[in-house]
Structure 1
Amino acid sequence: MASDELAVEDTTPSNDYYESTSSTSTPPVYNFRRSTRQRSNHYYRVERIPEVSAIFNYEKSTRLEVLKWLRRNEDNNHDVIYINSESITAEKLYELCDKHIWFSSDHINAYLSYLNTKFHRVFSLTSFFYTKLTKNDGYKYSSVEHWTKRIKIFQKDIIFIPINLNEAHWILAAIFMKEQFRIAIFDSLGMVTTEDAVIIGGNLINWLNDEYNHKVKLGKGIACEYDSNVIEEINLNRQVDFSLDIMFRNRDPPQVDGSSCGVFVCMFARLMAENIEREIIMKIAKCREASIKFRKVIYTDLWKYAKENNQMDTESEDYDEYE
């Protein structure tokens, strides 16, 4: 997605569409009062959007293979898939088959780490990054100073940061690194306020400034590893100027349940990694079945990654008893 396609959206969402009835660490419960206009917007089908139809392909046999692996390993410790430094258990992987399961940090971190291996132009930080960066409602760069030690982030096109709001709702922040720094906040429920989005954007820009000052400006001999155009822009301004795009604020939010926010986080990151344009992403978000299908895409992708890296025994057996 080109950064110049991002435009600011800044309209407060209407309470006519949802009410939050939970702010605890358990998945939120939402009472939806869907308007006729909102229901009619969810009519697209992903297979009819040529730009993304292949992205939503999944293998039906994966569910049975994962179930077999789970049952085979339920009494031992050989039930973990490793994706870079992240991991996910067989049980957590199989949970993805249930459309009512609320994503944990394990699900999100595993899939975003997978995107790091598949798309080298993007980089995903873990769900714990922003929590560490803003511990005690402040800003503390020293808490995350070493998180990107081996990553040349200024050579990336997009940086993804999953954020958990009040331990109840997942959103995704995306920093577009080329040309001019832009931050998009993807909130599938349209709950993020302008004030909160500005705070998130400001914290992430402060982090980029500190990354530059600690790892480029003060890191003698390291500057050549970074994009000189980006460094020049930062030097001229002495800070990183950015624009903020709050997605789904002036239109109906795409999430119609209380459990799929984490799926939307992973789906939005995948679509951006695939260079899908902003308006197409907005269109996909209206697809009724998009989040349900993408759950299957996630466990298919992670399972295929595990098989390709020989992380489990997948000798053929009869699956009929699980059907």
Structure 2
Amino acid sequence: MNAPTAPGGSTGPLPMTVPAEGLPGRVRIHEVGPRDGLQNEQATVPVEVKAEFILRLVEAGLDTVEATSFVHPRWVPQLADAEELYPRLSGLGARARLPVLVPNSRGLERALALDAHEVAVFASATESFAKANLNRTVDEALTMFEPVVSRAREAGAKVRGYLSMCFGDPWEGAVPVEQVVRVCRRLVDMGCGELSLGDTIGVATPGHVAALLTALAAEGIGADRVAVHFHDTYGQALANTFAALQHGVTTVDASAGGLGGCPYAKSATGNLATEDLVWMLHGLGIETGVDLGRLTATSGWMAEQLGRPSPSRTVRALSHKDPS
């Protein structure tokens, strides 16, 4: 008997749909592969390949694709082509949201000059990571972001606040929930419309996720303002995502093909793969708008450009050719 055909032409099994009670009917996937994924590559991907990658992701049904970062090229040379890349995406603006990361006021002005409508700042929940990543204390970094967020909102741009090390830090260990809540409160108060809670080194577990979301809700920061961003270092990313869904979260960050990782976690296997997330969500009867076949083909294509197989289990499974 032939294997069923997945949307987009990929062959292989599809998940049986068995809904679970208490979960959202639809989840918005915030695709971070072109930015968070490619910035961690050793080699610089040509701008033409990046543009094609983003186009294919949009054509696969992803309506939010984080395109690039307007950081100084010295710090992230892999994304030094932001000014060249972003104009190439102008035709996609009506089909997808194309947010960009801005590290400071200069980065924001570069993004606004290219008519970016959504930007993100990147804060830390811990002093050690703030020092390592931004060479500032947590409070100094938040103070730096305040005029960036204010200026972005004045220009009509939406602002997302990334918060790294929400569950564990390689230098400080487990991060107290109340410490994370305090920084989240600051980001919301300065004007961030959405918070992305990062498990930067992949140490979170479902109970920890539930505790943080419960504490945020008690602070008045509901699930409608929150996204989750899990790394799969210990194989917990999908379990943690499920726990977040149970607490009402409807925005999940993921990276096509599982691209990306964290340089501070040597054993990290990267971001939660978008295909693995879609497989689980579709099996739960949760709508995403994503064509799994097209997405899998896109990640397979990108893996070829990078010269290595995709770490996504779903990509590998659906790309497997039956010798019979």
Higher relative contact order (CA 8 A, sep 6+): 1
Give yes or no for TM over 0.5: no
TM-score (norm 2): 0.30
TM-score (norm 1): 0.30
